[in-house]
Amino acid sequence: MMSLCRSGDVARLTATQPALAQTTMTTTLQPRPEDNNNDSGAGPFTFFPGKPRWTRPDRVLTYAVSPTATADHLPPSAVRAALRSAFARWADVIPMRFLEAERYDAADIKVGFYLYTDGRCDGCACIDSDDDDDDGDDCEGVLAHSSMPEKSGQIHLHAAHRWTVNLAADTAPLAVDLESVAAHEIGHVLGLDHSSSRSSMMYPFISCRERKVRLTTDDVHGIQELYGANPHFSFGAYFKQDILSRIQQMKKEKKKKARGSSFWQRGLALTCAVIVTMIPLPLSLNKLL
């Protein structure tokens, strides 16, 4: 499940969320430290109780977008493209394949947009934790919910929200990026529960107009603990761009700092460094060298 939040509003939103009834659907509860039941203890990523995962020997799961439970303002082809891209992000890192089913009824994972009636999802009758936002007029509330493995896979997107597949073209201030939320819900369908790491795909909150489609090391470690690594995946290559941009950023900041200090300051620092190295080392240190 994923909720909207204004940044800095997470604690309040979480505190006011009543617990969901225990159903086959995932809950909105924030992961507590004792929920962190991953074997390696490596990350903030968590699994569902019993660590369920899909065990198909052919490692293929099919999905389909409902032909009837649609989003009014989005063409079905755009919705399908966003889903295809979201599934591909997970397929890049684990040895699973996700194929679009020809028949909706036959798909392992069924995706649709649903409204809530009297606080219950029209698609599965699960209870929305905050049914007061059904007009979608503020940047809060539950965006979607999904099932966990290996139940019949479902991703239900809350139809009241302003879903978009192109934030650049859709200037609505409350627009919610479909691919970002779909990628999060796919993580649940595959067996990941929420992560407490803010940058993680499995962090339970996202802001309006936020695009978050890249898996982090936390997500990758979590999902690979369930399914193993895609043979074509390497951490170095996958996160190369992240690492390069971080180095670029560090270089920029260093340059800025260097420009800020005067020639004399730099000269003095250099002199100090020379003086320090000129001091004879104590005997014990010399031995170590």
DSSP percent split of the chain into helix, strand, coil, nearest 5 = 35, 15, 50
The active-site residue, picked from 140, 150, 179, 185, is 185
Where is the binding site for Zn(2+), in residues? Answer: 130, 145, 156, 184, 188, 194, 202
Helix (H) or strand (E) holding 138, with range, is none
**In the beta sheet, which residues pair with residue 192?**
47
- Least Å distance between CB 89 and Zn ion? 16
In the complex, the smallest distance separating the C-beta of residue 55 from Zn ion, rounded to whole angstroms, is 22
Using CB under 5 A as the criterion, which residues of the chain lie in contact with Zn ion when the complex forms? 1-2, 121, 123-124, 133, 141, 156, 158, 160, 204
Residue 264, exposed/middle/buried by CB under 10 A (0-12, 13-18, 19+)? exposed
Query: Annotated binding residues, as ranges?
Result: 108, 130, 135-136, 145, 156, 184, 188, 194, 202
Question: Which of 156/221 has CB closer to Zn ion?
Answer: 156
229 CB-contact burial (10 Å; exposed 0-12 / middle 13-18 / buried 19+): middle
185 is catalytic: yes
Q: Cβ-closest residue to Zn ion?
A: 121
Which is closer to Zn ion, CB of 2 or CB of 208?
2
What sign does the CA torsion over 144, 220, 21, 5 have? negative
Identify whether the C-beta of residue 130 lies closer than 8 Å to the C-beta of residue 2.
no
Shorter beta-carbon distance to Zn ion: residue 81 or 124: 124
Could you give the residue numbers annotated as active site?
Answer: 185
